[in-house]
Every structure is written in C-alpha cells, then in structure tokens.
Amino acid sequence: MTNKVISISESLKRIKSYTEVNNDLKQCHHFLFNAIYKRENRINNLNSRADVIVMSINPAETKKDYEYKGSTPTENSNERDFHEHLSPENISQSAKNWDRKTRIFCEDIFGKSINETAFFFWSSANKGDKFTKTFGYKWKSKECLKHLNFCKEHNINLIHYHQPKIIIAPGIGDAKYFSKIYGMDHIRTIKDDNNGHRLIEHFEIKNIPFVFTKHWTGSYGFSKRQEKIIIDYLRQFI
C-alpha cells in the first residue's frame, strides 16, 4: 500500500496504465473504479465526495455490454461510463437489477451520493469458469492476488478521498479473505435466526464501517424478511 495519498485522477491514470501493460487484464470488457450511481444527477460535479462506497467483487460482463462499439477494455468511472454509449435496450437485465438493489440498500437509506468500485477492477461474466477463461487463472490465485493488491492500493486511496459514512460490499463469501488483505477489524456477524445463514459481516477500516452483506443479485435471492434485517442494520449508519 502506498504511503502517499494521490488524487483520484492520478489513481485512474495508473489503473489505465496498469491495464495496458498486463495482457491478461486487456481481455476484459471494462474496468470499474469510482463509478457514479445515477450519474445524470451529479453531472455538474463528477468529483464530489460520496456518502456511500459500494465495493463489489468484480464488475459483471454481459453480451449486451459488447454492443458498445468503442475499443475495449473501456471503463466505468467518474470520468467515463461506457453505458452512456449504449441504447436503452442494450442495458443488460443484470445491470438493471443491480441498480434496483443499489436503490433499496443504499439510496433509500443514505441518499443518491453513491460511488462504486470493486475488489478486482476488471470485468468477467462470473468469478468461476468465466473468470478463468477471461484472465487465464483462477479467482484468488497467486496471479490474481497480485492484481488484488494493486486494487487495494487504489481503493484505500478512494476511501481516503471520499471519507464515506459506510462502505458496503455485496457478497459475503470472501469477507474474511478481503478483511485480511485490507487489514479490517471485525465488529460482528449477523445471521438469519431461522436458518443460520450469514446476512452481514461488519468490519471497520480506518474507523469507517465496512459491511459485507449477502449478495444482492445472487442465485439464492433474498426473502423479504432477510432484506429488512439488512436494511434495518444499515440504517444505524445514517
């Protein structure tokens, strides 16, 4: 991790350069860093600080994304969002579902000042076989870890810049793994009393709540009761 805080524009420049010199990363469709939720509402102030950072595992990639006709890898960042160059019918259903869940778990609680990043900046259709097919190695492999550490450096810089009220990470399976990489302190675990399923792993990083939740769009889905448990827990950080 760098000891020197750099600007977000410098972070973005370094991510682009890093992508360009790593052939494995050039196989993806786009990278995600400091993207702006509901960009149209903040178009006059794209560098404004966010109240919430959503940190996903890595950005999803769909066939409809490839309707974008520019060169790839492209980006979803505060400076450029490739989705703006897609017609409405080419916005994937998974992207629409993600926006809907972001509204439920973030906007409806904290407002619209939300930025997005990822533990691994570069896109794939999943973090299983499609991840391996895209990049040539498995998720959390030695080769992957090198890139995860690069991402950590710039995510820490992003957190320092925004000083958000909370960081929310959808996807609970890798919570322990990332908590070690980022040096987080564990606060508590929240489980579903009915079936014992973990719903929340609450950590802190630099005195900022870092809350992993059950994945918002995972195949197992949410019951309304589970959704309410998570929402009620998140409300304490308003």
- Worst-scoring range by mean pLDDT, 86-90, 130-134, 234-238? 86-90
pLDDT band of 2, cuts 50, 70, 90: very low
Report the 3 state secondary structure along 122-153: ECECCCCHHHHHHHCCCCCCHHHHHHHHHHHH
The DSSP secondary structure of 25-66, one letter per residue, reads GGGSSEEEESEETTGGGGTT-TTPPPSEEEEESS-B--GGGG
Residue 98 belongs to a domain: yes
Q: What is the mean pLDDT of the chain?
A: 93
In this structure, what CATH number is given to the domain that contains residue 109? 3.40.470
Q: How many CA atoms lie within 13 A of 88 on its CB side?
A: 0
Question: Is the confidence at residue 110, as pLDDT, over 80?
Answer: yes
Query: How many whole angstroms separate alpha carbon 78 and alpha carbon 184?
Result: 26
Residue located via tokens 């908590």: 179
Q: Is residue 43 part of a domain?
A: no
Number of domains in the chain: 1
Q: What is the mean pLDDT of residues 32-54?
A: 90
| Cα–Cα distance measured from residue 137 to residue 207, given in angstroms and rounded to the nearest whole number | 34
2: in domain = no
Nearest in space to 216 (alpha carbons), one of 91, 55, 64, 77: 55
Share of the chain above pLDDT 70, in %: 97
Whether 82 shows a pLDDT value over 90: the answer reads yes
With the C-alpha atoms ordered 146, 148, 150, 153, is the resulting torsion angle positive or negative? negative
Residue 133 lies inside a defined structural domain of this protein: yes
Instruction: Give the burial string for 131-141 (b: 16+ CB within 10 Å, else e).
Output: bbebbebebee
Interval 203-236: pLDDT, tens: 999 999 999 999 998 766 788 999 999 999 999 9
The model's confidence at residue 202, banded by pLDDT at 50, 70 and 90, is very high
Q: Does residue 4 carry a pLDDT above 80?
A: no
CA-wise closest residue to 135 among 31, 218, 215? 31
Q: Is residue 85 part of a domain?
A: yes
Is the entire prediction scored with pTM above 0.85? yes
pLDDT tens for each residue of 133-188 = 999 999 999 999 999 999 999 999 999 999 999 999 999 999 999 999 999 999 99
| Spatial CA neighbour of 175 closest among 204, 213, 139 | 213
Task: Write out the residue range of the structural domain in which residue 86 sits.
Answer: 15-37+49-237
Among 81-90, 103-112, 176-185, the range scoring the smallest mean pLDDT is: 81-90
Highest mean pLDDT, choosing among 18-22, 61-65, 95-99: 18-22
* Residue 6 resides in a domain: no
Indicate the pLDDT class of residue 19, thresholds 50, 70 and 90.
Answer: very high
How far apart, in Å, are the Cα atoms of 1 and each of 5, 85, 151, 157, 217? 10, 34, 10, 9, 31
Residue 1 has pLDDT above 50, yes or no: no
